[in-house]
Amino acid sequence: MNIQIEIQKIISTYGRDIIKERRLVYILSDYGILKDLRAERRILLDIIDEGYAEQMIMLQPDRQDNSLKICSFISEVHQKTGYQVQKLITVFKWLSDSLGIVTVPFESILHVEQEAPIKEIIIKGKYKVKDPRAIDKVYKLPVDSFSKSSNKTTGVKDSKGMILERAAAKAAEEHIKYVLSEFKVDTADIDFSETPSMYYAVITLASNIRITKLIYLKDTIAEAISSTGCRIIAPIPGTNKIGIELIKEQPMAPSFQSILPQEKPKDSLCCSLGLMADGCPLSIDFSKVGHALIGGQPTSGKTNSLNTIIYSLISCYFPYEFKLALFDLKGAGLNIYEGIQKNYLVEFGESSNIADTTVSAAQLLFGLAEDLTLRKSHFLKASCNNIDEYNKLYLSGELDPLEGHSFTPRIIIIIDELSDIMQLSNYQSTMKYILSEGAQYGFHIVASTRQNIRRNMLTEEMKKAFQARISFKLESSIESKSVLGSSDAVDLYAIGDALLFDPTTASIKHFSTPYIDKNTKDIVTQYINTHPIIESYRIKSDSIDLPEKQPKLHSISCSDIDKNTIIQAVSILLQGGKCNEASLQKAMSCTFNTAHQILLKLDESGITKKEKNIRTLIVKDLAEAVSKM
């Protein structure tokens, strides 16, 4: 399809000014012209929004310097956004040809070489296999661009702000020293540092002070240092020092750039979580921890933590290394990732690859379980115990692709609110299967929950499979122990303040989750959308039995209750049913309020009678009840 001709048709219908309106993109999309050109569509929108399309309308078609002007536009957009130059040339060529602007090939001015397609690399071992790492030289990871981004913190401070901040840090340090001296805790050395959200003091005690004294007094000292926002670690694991964390009066979230690793870890899949009190990034390695559970009360930062995990993974790892399976029945948190589905999402449905309904969640969950079974059979044939062994054996050319063997990515299963998928039939057995056996085959669950973990949600055996535990602020020590294994989450402070139980060190670590700004989101999205589509990963979901539909609970007011509803209720009561809302609710599959309204109607009709908070049935049979209606 010649897109220039289609744009000319639109211009002839709506006039040349349509070029500078977003309506042009919407019309092209309505006709399906941009269906498979997601990156070009995004670029065209940006060209229109930034005013470059309007400037092109003002160009005189026959001027010799038109090519130079348009090439300057291409360079500006490339510097601002990082879009591939070749794709920018394609979109600007559409507009210039549609407007009748005479140009020379833009490549000759910009000295752009034609982007080389991904060359297929064949590994010749016992069998010939495709090497997925062929894209490494062509596919640019977003992390490469973050070095060009600005600050480590979320905002830029002027000189006055920096002076005030240094003064506040000095005052905090002196205050800590003063409180310790009041408790007669002598110090040999204090190493003081800060992050955007807190101050951190590493204290070496004097030789005459035993650390057990701090262990007994740490809660009292913490209260004296600050009534809110102070935590003492006595001792710091692996040392004879103590740590004091003090939340700032105006804490700021660290930037996303500040939590990323300096270099990509080898032979593992690590995701960044946030910044610890000492300023070091905190991450977990899925190959070591298996699965992760995130708890916290509403608006404490759970969904933002899931976003941080997803962004850090797609910023640092290639699409062949992992895929995402997203569950979001709330429909609010994870739908922003529809734009990256061509490379990073597990494919399972006909349209969206994000499970945001009960049916799609069932398809994806049970499809993942079926895919795990398939992997187990392949690993068994290859005599491999885990995914790393299997992939190394495949890349050495020892596995026959004709027998179904291929390079296998890890699957990160993101569940935004665990309780929302409890309604699926066979939920527990399927979750137990993935939790108990999935990690060694490359399946890792990261689930968030806003409430206390009950047995009908996760059994004790299933809960133990979540080795890494992340907790935000929780109201009670019972809830904190349910998620974290300790009551420390009760004492957390601001939104984004969190604790991690790290199973590799058996310790609890305090960290702040980052602020993911628009610039970060744009960098990640632009890089992914301008890259070629990598071979997708699809699971079989057609043959999966979907859960039976639960009867819908109906809620009606007293005035809407008809005669048939009354007769049904009386029949239940005559068969020995208790005259209370809970029994009637269960028997009629209705809401508690509906059952209450029905009983009020029965009281009004003289069929039941309530005395001293006890309701009794006063009719002997259905005929008597009908006569009273």
The verdict on whether residue 303 carries a ligand-binding annotation is yes
The verdict on whether residue 142 carries a ligand-binding annotation is no
Residue 64, judged by CB atoms within 10 A of its CB (0-12, 13-18, 19+), counts as exposed
Integer-rounded Cα Rg, in Å, for the chain is: 31
Measure the CA–CA gap between 154 and 251, rounded to whole angstroms: 11
List beta partners, residue 614.
611
Q: Are 330 and 298 in contact (CB under 8 A)?
A: no
Q: Which two tokens stand for residue 167?
A: 């003064």
The verdict on whether residue 299 carries a ligand-binding annotation is yes
Q: Which residue type sits at 594?
A: T
Closest CA to 569 of 587, 549, 582, 554: 587
The verdict on whether residue 352 carries a ligand-binding annotation is no
Backbone angles phi, psi at 206, to 5 degrees: -65, 160
Name every residue whose Cβ is closer than 8 Å to that of residue 126 and which is 6 or more positions away in sequence.
397, 398, 400
The verdict on whether residue 229 carries a ligand-binding annotation is no
Measure the CA–CA gap between 358 and 51, rounded to whole angstroms: 43
Name every residue whose Cβ is closer than 8 Å to that of residue 248 and which is 6 or more positions away in sequence.
168, 194, 197, 198, 199
Measure the CA–CA gap between 510 and 353, rounded to whole angstroms: 34
Q: Which two tokens stand for residue 536?
A: 């997708």
Closest CA to 93 of 104, 109, 81: 104
Most distant CA pair in the chain, distance: 101
Backbone angles phi, psi at 154, to 5 degrees: -85, -10
Q: Are 424 and 454 in contact (CB under 8 A)?
A: no
Name every residue whose Cβ is closer than 8 Å to that of residue 77 and which is 6 or more positions away in sequence.
43, 46, 47, 50, 52, 83, 88
List beta partners, residue 444.
412
Q: Are 369 and 433 in contact (CB under 8 A)?
A: yes
Count the alpha carbons within 13 Å of 67 in the hemisphere toward its beta carbon: 10
Measure the CA–CA gap between 105 and 98, rounded to whole angstroms: 15
3-state secondary structure of 91: helix
The verdict on whether residue 300 carries a ligand-binding annotation is yes
Name every residue whose Cβ is closer than 8 Å to that of residue 64 and which is 6 or more positions away in sequence.
none
Q: Are 547 and 289 in contact (CB under 8 A)?
A: no
Q: 614-617 and 270-276: which strand pairing?
A: unpaired
Q: What burial letters (b/e) apply to 592-619, b meaning 16+ CB within 10 Å?
A: eebbbbbbebbeebebbeeeeeebebeb
The verdict on whether residue 308 carries a ligand-binding annotation is no
The verdict on whether residue 297 carries a ligand-binding annotation is yes
In residues, how long is the chain? 629
Measure the CA–CA gap between 139 and 132, rounded to whole angstroms: 12
Count the alpha carbons within 13 Å of 253 in the hemisphere toward its beta carbon: 19
Which residues are documented as binding site for ATP? 296-303
Per the annotation, binding residues are 296-303
